[in-house]
Structures are given as C-alpha cells and as structure tokens.
Amino acid sequence: MSDGRPELPARLLEKVRQLHQSIEQHNHNYYVLDTPTISDLDYDRLFRELKDLETRYPALITSTSPTQRVGASPLSSFQPASHRTAMLSLNNAFEDQEVSEFDRRMRETLEIDALSYAVEPKLDGVAISLVYEDGILVEAATRGDGSTGENVTQNIRTVRAIPLTLSGKVIPGLIEIRGEIHMRKLDFERLNQTQAKRGDKVFINARNAAAGSLRQLNPKITARRPLTFFAYAVGTLEGMKSPSTHSEMMDLLETFKIPVCPERAVVEGTEGLLNYHRRLEGLRPSLPYEMDGVVYKVNTLKQQEQIGFVARAPRFALAHKFVAEEAETLVEEISIQVGRTGVLTPVARLKSVFVGGVKVSNATLHNEDEVHRKDLRVGDTVKVRRAGDVIPEVVSVILENRPEDTKPFVMPKHCPVCDSEVVRIEGEIAVRCPNGLSCKAQLKGALSHFSSRRAMDIEGLGVKLIEQLIESKQVLSIADLYSLDHERLAGLERMADKSATNLINAIEKSKDTTLARVIYALGIRNVGASTALDLARNFGELDVLMEADEMRLLAVPEVGPIVALSLIDFFSVSKNREVINRLKAAGLTWPSVPLEQGSLRPLLGKTFVLTGTLEGMTREEAKKEITAAGGKVTGSVSKKTSYLVAGADPGGKLKKAEALEVTVLNEEALMSLLSE
C-alpha cells in the first residue's frame, strides 16, 4: 500500500471496500431516509464481518471505516477551530408585514420586479460546520462566536447520518458544509426513557439534549445518543463548479449523501413565502423534528452576493418565527434581580408550567414600567409564552381570575443585595444600583461574564464557586482571579485538590487570549461579542481604543451614539483603567489585530447606494472597492445615505436621493473619492 502499510491482497482490499460502501449505504437508508432495507440482524452481521477482518489485519483500519464511529478516547478539552468564512446568525421576523418588507427590500436592492426564494424549516438544534477535503471528513466545529468554534470532530464522527466520505462521481477538493445537529422527537422521548431507567439526568427538550450530547468530552457517550443532521448551506466550495442557486447546491449535497431537509422548497415573492410559512406551521406537530420557524433565502447565489451582509447576518436571508405557544399559570412572587451593570429587573416567579416543550418557572418582566403597563400582581393568573420560542415572557393577565386582595407592584427604593439607594436617570427606563462592584450581585455578574466561554473562557469557574470567592473576600474584582492560588482554592467547600488544580490551569490558560475577547470580557454596557470584534478589527490595540473620541468611535461600522457613549464612559473611570492595568500586569497578553483594510481611510463611516450600470466596473466590483476603502454599501436610499453612485439608467433611487438631498456621484466622482 502507498501509505507505508504492509501490502494486502487485492481481493481483501476490494472486500473491505464493498463492506464500507454497503454499511454506509445502510446507515444512510436508516438514519437519513428513514427507510431501512435490511434487518438489524443482517446489518450487525455485515458490521461484525468488517470488524473481524480489521482485527485479523489491523492495516485495514482507516479513519473512514464504519467501525471507527464508536468513539475515540476521551478528550481533556475541546480545541478552538477557525471558520473559513464566518458563521452568521439570521435576522428574525414575527409578523407577515416584516416578510413583505423583506421581499420589497430584496427586489429594490436588485432592481427587479419578482424574486425566487429557497425556503426551509428552521430547525431547533445546534449549528455545526463540516469540512471535507478530497471527499474525506477532516474537521467539524461548532458555531462559537461565528469566527471561531470548538473542534468536535471526534464526536461528529459518531453521528451515523453524517458520511465520513462523500459519494458521487465528482468530489470537490474542499467543501465546508453548514447544518444543524438535532434530535428527532421520537428519539428524544426514547433517550429520556432510557435516562430515567438508569437514574440519569432527564433532558428538558431535544435541543438541550443535542447540545449536551455534542459537547461530551467522551465521544463514546456521544455515540450512544441518537443525533442526526440536516445541511442548510455551503460556506466554501473549491475544486468544482458551483451551482448557480441555493436549491441546486442542496441538491448537490444530496448527491454526496449529505442529509438535507426534505421539506425545503422554492417559492416566488411575498405570497409564496407566507404560504410556505402557513403550510409548515400546520405541519409542525406531525413532522419528526422540532422547528421554531422557517428560513427564507434569495435563491440565486450571485444575487445573494450582490445583496451582501450586515455585521452579524446576511441581508439576503430571514428567519420567520412561528407564533409562540402559550400556557396559563400563577404568579407566586415578583422578585428583583440585580445584573452585572446594576440594573434592577423584576422577575415573575411562576408555578411551573410546560410551554413549547420547556418547563417554565420564571419570566423576566423587563422593568418597572412594563409591570405597571400590564398591571401584573402577585396572585394573578397569567398567559405565558416563550418569545421567539426562547425567552419566557408574560403575555397578559387574566383579570377575571384576579383575587380581591392583590396589591400593585412597587419597585424597591434600595438594592435588595447591598441596600444602596437605587437611582433612575432621567430619560432612562432602568432603575440601577449605583454601588458598582461593591455590590455583590454586580461583582458576581461581572465575574460570570468575564469567565464565560465567549469572553475569557475560564472552565470550572461556576456560579457557586464565584459566590464562595466573593463571600470569602478572595475576589473583589475581575483582576483578583489572577492572584488566586491552589492552597486557598482547595480550602473552599466542594473544591478537591484536582478541581483546584484544574481551575488554576484554566485561569493560566486564559492569559493567552485575543483583543476581541478582552473587550467583550470587560463587560462594557451595550458592547456584545460582535461589537467587540468590530472594535478590535478597527482599532488593533486596546490602548488606542481607550483613547478614542466619539467621532472616531462612530466611524466604526455598527457603532452608534449609545455604544460610543458607553465606551467613553467606561474608559473614563479610573477604577476601570486600573483593572485593565492589573490584568496586563497579571500576564494577560493578546496579539495586535491587523487593522481592517480601509479602517483609517476617508470613506470610513460613509454609506453608499449603487444604482444603474457603471462603465468601468461592475456594481459588485464597485462595492468591493468602497468596502476596502472603509465605506459601507446598502441597498436602499435613506436620510442616512452619504452618497448615491448613479450609472446609466439609474431608476427610482436617483429620484429618491434627489428628494432627500443626498449627494449624487457619477462613476468618475466615485473613482476620485476612491483614489484619495
């Protein structure tokens, strides 16, 4: 054999190849098509035959053998895996009008009258990326923060619905496939029955079961869980001609024996989108998998490219959620939670009830004004739903069931944690505790956020341990985490010697990080993980960001006045700067980030709209040039548009730009701007 293993008879190699092919075909029939063509006994006979041959001739064992799906040795942790192209989230719609607006925006951007869309169910599972090189599965990663996920290749190899090698006459040199790991309803019920019989944890819903199974450090456990997969996109394709539409791309994946949802379709216009949504909502109870809506995508891939992306989501796609399921229950208490930014949030403590397959016992009430608007009181019977099938919320009060002795809600005048007098800044809805990290609740929130997976990713630092560290006064700021030692940790309740060692190692590991993680971990109000990534790419160094003024901050795409003010306020506090200096002194390091191309150029912060036909370049080429110079290209003209670039036959956008007094450039003027 060419790879250095001993030569084996050709007939033996052919026999093994046929067994590989036959077993994987039966896996596909059973786990993907749900139409098994042989009995379990016959399948086991084929599997044992292959296993026996590999036992007698170990040189036959390959990474793509069906026998290698049983799970490898346990991992100590998951390693990071960078995505070749970002795995973005989707913008959501809940009303039909939002779908109509989406279709209008797409047609106006493309300047056409009618448009085809690829439509498919929005599965309630875990996003995953599969990378095949020359037809062989080489890497699988979770979505993570969109840029970097966790390498879960060993676990994914145990999912029999996912082929270890691609089928087909023409195989791409490289393909990255995006999809959803999920668990079918019946398989989920059977898993919970098995868990209950063993006395093990019973899962609340299928999504949690899938996520927990995928993140097992022992792949043998994952192998025992009934996970399956549907692909919904291709991130990268090299070594073969790409199809022209999304629907054709999904058809191509099917030829590779990659599972694709059978309920997908292609429709025309708003009416087609809404009809599909209604049909799938009606089918929802009878389908074998959980879904919380449908996804619409402009079908033609070239048109997708023309429409482009915003920072966190593609413009050419939309998730249309189903109406949330509702249930009635009793409000037993209204308590107050204090968040890491000091905001006091009223929370309804409910008599437990199942809503959309999830047990709900708490629902956020958002703020004092919202409680008064709904006139919510302890003792009320209320309707509860999961907003977007995720966050529990109180929809309304059933007034006819209200007891006579109920009293209106009153927001406390003092923080329930530190007893500081609360404040409500004029013009703001939020009531805040002003005591900062001297308030244990805010310190607890800050530490939980700082150590979370998308921030410093300190594994083992859970809520209970954080509470102990605060109570024992070992940690009074996020910087104190880096002065913890093994002896003090091991002396805490439920902290054995090994647990203390693991935590110290995790804290030490977190010192080697990235600028985006550090910015996010600091817990600056209104700065999420995506915004932190934008800031890192546009400033390159934390010191530069700390000194930035409002104008410079507003030049960053997706940073508006509220975020800019939050950043300026945070870095103007001497205690925050002191914490940053202590983190650096403790050994936190991160590489400088290469600045985004055009991040310091004159077009930064400028918004362009393109219309008509350009002579010297295509509109897509013009868009790339503008983006490279720091500008932003959108599809429709508004008051926020800086320039309209008008070529031949400009259409209605020119009239709108003139009406709004937006500066209009011809191609020559655009080239002059770009040359600066």
pLDDT of 2-14, one tens digit each? 445 556 677 788 8
CA distance 235 to 276: 25
Q: Among positive and negative, which fits the CA dihedral 92, 95, 99, 102?
A: negative
Nearest to 331 by CA among 417, 424, 409: 409
55-59, 372-376, 628-632: least confidently modelled range: 628-632
Q: What is the pLDDT of residues 328-339, one digit of tens each?
A: 999 999 999 998
* Overall average pLDDT of the 41-65 stretch: 77
Tokens 């691609």 correspond to what residue?
Answer: 166
DSSP assignments along 582-633, one per residue: HHHHTT-B-PPPPPPTTTTSTTTT-EEEEESB-SSS-HHHHHHHHHHTT-EE
CA 394 to chain CA mean position, Å = 25
pLDDT confidence of residue 34 = 61
Q: Which neighbouring-strand residues pair with 133? A: 136, 174
Higher pLDDT, 403 or 26: 403
Tell whether the model's pLDDT for residue 488 goes beyond 60: yes
∠ Cα 251 253 258 (to 5°): 125
DSSP assignments along 440-474, one per residue: HHHHHHHHHHHHSTTTT--TT--HHHHHHHHHTTS
CA separation, residue 97 to residues 94, 103, 117, 268, 292 (Å): 9, 10, 17, 16, 19
CATH of domain 515-585: 1.10.150.20
| CATH 3.40.50.10190 in the chain, residue ranges | 607-675
* Overall average pLDDT of the 29-40 stretch: 69
pLDDT confidence of residue 597 = 47
pLDDT confidence of residue 407 = 93
pLDDT confidence of residue 19 = 83
Active-site residue, selected from the candidate residues 122, 321, 440, 623: 122
Whether domain 10-70 has CATH 3.90.1150.10: the reply is no
Higher pLDDT, 321 or 596: 321
pLDDT confidence of residue 637 = 86
DSSP-derived secondary structure letter, 9: -
Tell whether the model's pLDDT for residue 257 goes beyond 60: yes
Residue 122 annotated as catalytic: yes
* Overall average pLDDT of the 571-593 stretch: 90
In this structure, which CATH number among 3.30.565.60, 3.30.470.30, 3.30.360.10, 3.40.50.300 belongs to the domain 92-317? 3.30.470.30
**Domain topology for 436-509:** DNA polymerase; domain 1 (1.10.150)
CATH of domain 607-675: 3.40.50.10190
Tell whether the model's pLDDT for residue 541 goes beyond 60: yes
Average pLDDT over the chain, rounded to an integer: 86
pLDDT confidence of residue 630 = 64
DSSP assignments along 89-113, one per residue: ---EE-SHHHHHHHHHHHHHHHT-S
- Pair type for strands 643-646 and 607-611: parallel
Tell whether the model's pLDDT for residue 443 goes beyond 80: yes
pLDDT confidence of residue 465 = 92
pLDDT confidence of residue 356 = 67
Instruction: Mark out the alpha helices in 314-393 (DSSP H runs).
Output: 368-374
| CATH 1.10.150.20 in the chain, residue ranges | 436-509, 515-585
Read off the pLDDT band of 599 (50, 70, 90): very low
Q: What is the pLDDT of residues 616-652, one digit of tens each?
A: 777 777 776 776 666 778 878 888 889 999 888 777 7
pLDDT confidence of residue 269 = 95
